[in-house]
Chain A
């Protein structure tokens, strides 16, 4: 039994922390949010230089061969700094799916992801399908013609390539195509947490065999595993947010004076902050369990990710709401960072199945 991170993992965390402190403060983030791209190409290049874009890929594909533990560390730290760069979309959802597939061009694409020279999005969700991603209505017919509409495609506006889940004669297919293929139309909008996503329609888009990434059970397993890993990542992000909510609230109440004393001296606020601390520790415990199960590829890995997701969906929002409340009027000011954690928690709960959904899945 050892539940401590090893030296290398601690170094990774420190490196990300330092980066976020020096290169990604809240003002910098605000600039990026307001920019037309919703991410910063310079920051993305720095990610590539640090090796972060290569982290989860196998060494055969040119990656660093790191697993869910290191990804969780990265996302925890991203959560604390509220990083909005499209790491989840390009590296986790698209990159790891390709890496685990037998797609012939995957090495080339993964190399481009590692060097930061391509963005790829995974189009897995559809209107009216809820959280059921395995039975899309988008169709691929026998002549490889793609028809349908995908929704909430993260970073869709920046993607040069799109990976699409579709149905081919009742069999799940995963295909990849250029975003500028004729018949593809993209409509983009902002998300609550400062990122962007798109609705993408495919109207008689002509593909061929070379566009196929996976079919049948392979496609199903690939999709399930990828979404599970991405779910773990955003949960780690939420755990980072919860820790920051607690730290920032404590710092704020120690500095804020009313009635002639710091408001941190009031027991009613102390106990609420203790609750925030406890919730963040309990969420961290579930994160450790889930990431180790995913790392060991155990039979229970889906179950434990569901447990974690259902927990952070509830307690993450609770922590962020408490943080806003304890910041008083400052908590609802757009120019303060604290309210943005609440927005992040809303997006974490909404993605890949909310708390109620995962509570059902868990049992």
Chain B
């Protein structure tokens, strides 16, 4: 048996383990850093560095800057005007933007509806919608959740009935969607609607694109506990939607929705952004001479490293032609727990000044902040980030997914 190993030493010239990125990837990383240093809009950077919530215009400027560089279609194939990046480049791009404190790229257009349109849409739809997504000329929002359908999404009730008037085919949509992120800014909404009630609940769902200017749509703000207006209720009353806004086949919407979820695999853990938060937290805590806080921040640093390497393992599996399994659910759970834990430690580091709260946008220009300047930002982050373990399939739903696919129970 001992000789077996000597022999195999000679026979196998297998690729050895290597945790470093290739030269090409490093060069790409430098290109991203270069863009961040020179072309990432300065007025946006100033606000995010100061921890102030950015405006609609700032967000548009940020996305337009990405479009200008040709990076808006970061996850799209070249064929549809995307970058065609490898998994490792996509990872690097996400991480560097997070490290630099960029706002998250709004996922609704480029990350969600875009891939559904170029995969299941017809040529007319591709031509009509894809270029505007890449140039950020349309702002999309997502119409999935309903007041009665959260984790049990397939129970959704918003109804679309096909009609024909004067040779025109159209749907009449009635119902409501909720938790619709930034619907107040949106030009279009992609919706899961019920077109059939006869079979099992997943089978009667269709995927419909709706113009937010359509008569009968009403957007009402929902103010979250951080005081911000980020999400909304959207009401549909006899909204007329042209039938050619239907994606793919009627009744197949659930399949497209699941495809969409699987497509949003990367950056789900938010490692880059968490690393940035950790670094700032370490600086703050190092000045406080508090061994309890020091221990907590050390624990988070170790745990974040574990999440980062778990994401790299997923990346390595993809690069080597493997199929990722449970990793994305692990990353969703642990990544969001990390974001929340970091923000909570910001609040703890504020000590008694956690009492003061100026609201989500920080102090106005003329106000003098009471206590450390990170107190307000920490608190708004802490309150705002509660959402991360709830959205995108709550962390409990992720554990159900893992129970089914990993435990096999």
Contacts and interface: CB of A to CB of B under 8 A. Distances in A.
Interface of A: 1-8, 11-12, 15, 49-51, 54, 64, 69, 250, 253-254, 262, 264-265, 267, 270-271, 273-275, 277-278, 281-283, 285-286, 288-289, 292, 307, 310-311, 356, 359-360, 362-363
Contacts of B310: 281-282, 285
B5 A1 contact: no
B302 A307 contact: yes
Nearest to A48: B2
5 contacts: A4-B316, A8-B12, A288-B313, A311-B303, A360-B298
Interface stretch (B13-21, B174-182, B183-191, B202-210): B13-21
A274 B14 CA distance: 33
Given A1-B22, A49-B2, A285 B313 contact: yes
B295 interface: yes
B403 A270 contact: yes
Contacts of B15: 2, 4, 6
A1 B1 contact: no
Interface of B: 1-2, 4-6, 8-9, 12, 14-22, 25, 88, 294-295, 298-299, 301-303, 305-307, 309-310, 312-313, 315-317, 319-320, 326-327, 330, 333-334, 396, 399-400, 402-403, 406-407, 409
B24 to A, nearest CB: 11
Contact of B1 (A50, A254, A278, A286): A50
B403 A271 contact: yes
B9 to A, nearest CB: 7
Contacts of A265: 409
Nearest to B88: A1
A310 B302 CA distance: 8
Nearest to A65: B9
Contact of A285 (B2, B9, B88, B309): B309
Contacts of A6: 12, 14-17
The 10 closest A-B pairs by CB, nearest first: A6-B14, A51-B2, A285-B309, A3-B316, A282-B306, A270-B403, A264-B409, A285-B310, A274-B402, A274-B399
A7 B8 CA distance: 9
Contact of B303 (A54, A254, A282): A282
A315 to B, nearest CB: 9
Q: Most B CB atoms within 10 A — which of A54, A264, A359?
A: A359
| Candidate in B88, B294, B330, B399 with the most chain A CB atoms within 10 angstroms | B399
Nearest to B305: A307
A147 B271 CA distance: 53
Report whether over half of chain B's contact residues are helix, strand or loop; otherwise say mixed: helix
A2 B16 contact: yes
Given A274-B402, A362-B298, A3 B306 contact: no
B294 to A, nearest CB: 7
B301 A1 contact: no
Given A64-B5, A311-B303, 20 more contacts: A1-B18, A1-B21, A1-B316, A2-B15, A2-B320, A3-B17, A4-B320, A6-B12, A6-B16, A8-B9, A50-B1, A50-B2, A270-B407, A274-B399, A281-B330, A282-B310, A282-B330, A282-B334, A286-B306, A360-B295
Contacts of B21: 1
Contacts of B8: 7-8, 11
A168 B231 CA distance: 71
A44 to B, nearest CB: 15
Contact of A8 (B2, B14, B333): B14
Nearest to B295: A359
**Which of B19, B20, B327 neighbours the largest number of chain A CB atoms within 10 Å of its CB?**
B19
A51 B17 contact: no
Given A285-B306, A311-B303, A270 B315 contact: no
A240 B405 CA distance: 21
B302 A311 contact: yes
B307 A282 contact: yes
Contacts of A267: 400, 403
B403 A362 contact: no
Q: Which of B16, B317, B327, B409 is the most central at the interface, judged by chain A CB atoms within 10 Å of its CB?
A: B409
A253 B407 CA distance: 11
Contacts of A15: 1
A5 B320 CA distance: 12
Contacts of A253: 409
Nearest to B13: A6
A242 to B, nearest CB: 13
Contacts of A273: 403, 407
